[in-house]
């Protein structure tokens, strides 16, 4: 492997203690080979104060940041949510992909559509696909990253929906 950075993209669906029936939240998180994390992107089916901000960036009291994106009719992770995540991560102000990274993805079809493959190529990423049944054995986001994200997300929901 060359000296390009390694990036893992993970997705999860945190359960919410007070969600309305049918309300959906999907979280995309990513971390780099050096252990640092990129801001997560939280997709929601309900407009929130954070999702109406110009850049959709939410900051908690500790200074943690997350993008909040409202997508009406959101069902499951898809090419659309992956494209929005990639757009947030390659924004000209915060381009995390300016150094031609190696990106490790789970096998979600939405990561590998023809359009998405073109988007990945445009940013110079080298893709690596985890096998569909790898779960916690190969995917570094399961359960350590996703579990921690779910705990913190639930804690913040309990403090202020």
Least confident of 7-16, 18-27, 108-117: 7-16
pLDDT score of 9 more than 80:
no
Is residue 121 within 8 A of residue 128, CB to CB? The reply is no
Torsion angles phi and psi, residue 29, rounded to 5: -130, 155
Lowest model confidence (mean pLDDT) among 52-56, 64-68, 139-143, 156-160: 139-143
pTM (predicted TM-score): 0.73
pLDDT at 93: 80
**Among the listed ranges 31-40, 65-74, 81-90, 131-140, which one has the minimum average pLDDT value?**
131-140
Rounded to the nearest integer, the mean pLDDT of the chain is 75
> How far apart are alpha carbons 91 and 78 in whole angstroms?
20
Q: How far apart are CA 85 and CA 7, in angstroms?
A: 14
């Amino acid at each position: 492997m060359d000296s390009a950075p390694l990036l893992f993209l993970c997705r999860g669906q945190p359960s919410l203690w007070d969600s309305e029936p049918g309300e959906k939240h999907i979280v995309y998180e990513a971390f780099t080979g050096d252990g640092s994390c990129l801001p997560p992107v939280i997709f929601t089916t309900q407009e929130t104060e954070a999702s109406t901000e110009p850049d959709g960036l939410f900051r908690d009291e500790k200074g943690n940041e997350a993008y909040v994106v409202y997508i009406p009719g959101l069902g499951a992770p898809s090419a659309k949510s992956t494209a929005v995540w990639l757009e947030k991560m390659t924004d000209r102000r915060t381009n995390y992909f300016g150094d031609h990274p190696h990106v490790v993805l789970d096998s979600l079809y939405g990561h590998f559509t023809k359009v998405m493959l073109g988007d990945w190529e445009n940013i110079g990423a080298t893709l690596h696909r985890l096998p569909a049944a790898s779960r916690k054995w190969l995917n570094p986001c399961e359960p350590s990253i996703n579990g921690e994200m779910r705990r913190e997300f639930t804690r913040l929901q309990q403090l202020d929906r």
